[in-house]
Amino acid sequence: MNQPSYHEEDLGNTPDALVEEYGLSPVLVREITRSLEDESGGPRIHDLLIALHPADLAELISLLNSEQRAMLIAGIRSEFDAEVLTHLDPEIRDEILSQLGTEKSAEVISELDTDDAVEVISDLSAEEQKEIIDAIEDQETREEVKEALSYPEHSAGRLMQTDMVSIEQGWNVGQTIDYLRTNSEHLPTDFYAVFVVDSAHRPIASVMLSRIMQNNRDVSIDAIMNTDLKPFAVEVDQEEVAYVFRKYALVEAPVIDAQGVLVGVITVDDVVHVIQEESEEDLLRLGGISQQDFHAGVFDTVKRRLPWLMINIITAFFASRIIGAFEGSIEKLVTLAVLMPIVASIGGNAGTQVLTVAVRAITMRELKSTNALALVRKEVLTGFTNGLCIAAITSSAIGLWYHDVKLAAVFGAALIINLIVAALAGSLIPLFFNRMKQDPAITSGIFLTMLTDTTGFFAFLGLATIFLV
């Protein structure tokens, strides 16, 4: 087998192998896992691994456990493709960098574009970062990486690549093409646009390559360029960058320093990762996860999740004190204890719906001060309507089951009250945290459930104490 391939045909055509058309087939994963445990499989597996796309190799590495990973890396160490690192999650990347050692890591990292190199080492400790950077042999690369690391984390300066294509004002299509042909070794491999700069190297326009290629050599770039640039300052947050790229459907944007000078470009493929990350952040934070821990070990996972659970337990104790205040009523009518969690639970669920929509709209910048009041009004009306519908059904059921109309009425009223509070809390809490410049995704959930639990218990037990016991 001269041309190793990772297609399922080579590895037995089971139906399972056909499930994934792109990327790794489960059969290949199993084959490699087996070979790792079997000494004789060495050469065959080596060929298979080297033939994989870096993204597929990264995926395979993520699927293995630490020991398997170490064996695999040892096997391909000398031909290790730097691109693989850019496709890995931080936890696994750091593990591999320490296995490769400082010298080899530095060698591998210097093969990457500046933005990727910086991303790869950014999760390491300051000390480890310094060691690796000092071990980079090429001085220019070393300086570029240092420069990029000097920008704040998650900033445009970190996202940009410094290799870029800029031309002077007043050129024509022919001059531009000639420039690109004669300077090809100093240019990035792939790019989509060329930036036009003034005499101070400030970007004033961009031209898509497709426009350049569709015009004759004597056409002036001025005639085909786009002056509606969206330049980013180096310190702008990546969330802002992603928002602007998405909104205006950009593929490439210039990054400028404080003097307005072009210092780098951000391309859409970098932004795709950011968009993914930012959405993931909201999703995880609403679920009570401060940081993705899928690849973290038990100890790290506990360390990250426990604080959130501790806060939750405090709020749960707080809500339980409300119940404690009504112990006398529960003693007289134990049915109250049976029904009260329902009122609290439905409030929590309805509030989470509102919260999710509001947090999402804030992230997408659809929810602003101008339409905040309209949202709150709509949510309260929705909560009230949902409350009426649910109360109608559940109160009938309770009335029939317990033969107690007053109990049914108290339950229904408490439920409606809690759904209105849930609507208010679900919309106002994230708006408040956003106004306070806090991430609404991470903090709002705690306060929401505390409020809906407390209100649920208080409204139900309070009304019951007045009208029933």
Q: Are 168 and 196 in contact (CB under 8 A)?
A: yes
Residue identified by tokens 């109360």 is: 391
Among 216, 258, 403, 436, binds a copy of itself (CB under 8 A): 216
Neighbours of 182 (CB within 10 A): 9
Could you give the string, one character per residue 243-282, with x where binding to a copy of itself holds by CB under 8 A and - elsewhere?
A: xxxxxxx-x----------------xx-xxx-xx--xx-x
Q: How far is the CB of 135 from a copy of itself (least distance, A)?
A: 27
Q: How far is the CB of 208 from a copy of itself (least distance, A)?
A: 5
213 touches a copy of itself (CB under 8 A): yes
Among 17, 50, 357, 468, binds a copy of itself (CB under 8 A): 357
Q: Cα–Cα distance between 299 and 318 in angstroms, integer?
A: 29
Cβ proximity to a copy of itself: between 20 and 131 the closer is: 20
Among 1, 9, 370, 403, binds a copy of itself (CB under 8 A): 370
72 touches a copy of itself (CB under 8 A): no
207 touches a copy of itself (CB under 8 A): no
Q: Are 320 and 418 in contact (CB under 8 A)?
A: no
Cβ proximity to a copy of itself: between 136 and 250 the closer is: 250
Give me the DSSP letters along 209-229.
HHHHHTS-TTSBHHHH-B---
339 touches a copy of itself (CB under 8 A): yes
- C-alpha pair distances (Å), 119 with each of 271, 364, 461: 13, 25, 54
- C-alpha pair distances (Å), 276 with each of 203, 242, 246, 439: 28, 10, 12, 17
Q: How far is the CB of 139 from a copy of itself (least distance, A)?
A: 26
- Per DSSP, helices labelled H in 18-169 are 26-37, 42-51, 54-63, 66-76, 83-86, 90-109, 114-121, 126-135, 139-149, 156-159
3-class SS at 175? helix
Q: Are 221 and 172 in contact (CB under 8 A)?
A: yes
Neighbours of 24 (CB within 10 A): 18
H/E element, 445: helix 440-467
Q: Cα–Cα distance between 331 and 298 in angstroms, integer?
A: 43
Site residues for a copy of itself, window 155-194 (CB under 8 A)? Answer: 177, 180-181, 184, 187-192
Cβ proximity to a copy of itself: between 126 and 334 the closer is: 334
443 touches a copy of itself (CB under 8 A): no
Parallel/antiparallel/unpaired status of strands 193-197 and 203-208? antiparallel
Cβ proximity to a copy of itself: between 117 and 132 the closer is: 117
Site size with a copy of itself, rule: CB under 8 A:
125
Among 11, 209, 468, 469, binds a copy of itself (CB under 8 A): 209
- Per DSSP, helices labelled H in 326-439 are 327-332, 335-363, 369-402, 405-435
Could you give the string, one character per residue 372-391, with x where binding to a copy of itself holds by CB under 8 A and - elsewhere?
A: --xx--x--xx--xx--xx-
Cβ proximity to a copy of itself: between 162 and 312 the closer is: 312
Site residues for a copy of itself, window 2-41 (CB under 8 A)? Answer: 21-23, 26, 29-30, 33
Among 146, 353, 468, 469, binds a copy of itself (CB under 8 A): 353
Cβ proximity to a copy of itself: between 99 and 292 the closer is: 292
Among 41, 215, 257, 443, binds a copy of itself (CB under 8 A): 215
Among 100, 164, 212, 265, binds a copy of itself (CB under 8 A): 212
Q: Cα–Cα distance between 440 and 158 in angstroms, integer?
A: 25
- Judged by CB under 8 A, which stretch of 40-48, 72-80, 127-135, 357-365 contacts a copy of itself? 357-365
Rg, Å, the chain Cα set: 30
Site residues for a copy of itself, window 108-137 (CB under 8 A)? Answer: none
Q: Cα–Cα distance between 34 and 201 in angstroms, integer?
A: 56
Among 261, 342, 409, 469, binds a copy of itself (CB under 8 A): 342
Cβ proximity to a copy of itself: between 132 and 430 the closer is: 430
**Planar angle of CA 153, 155, 158, nearest 5 degrees:** 75
Give the tokens for residue 246: 């998405």
Q: How far is the CB of 98 from a copy of itself (least distance, A)?
A: 21
Q: How far is the CB of 131 from a copy of itself (least distance, A)?
A: 29
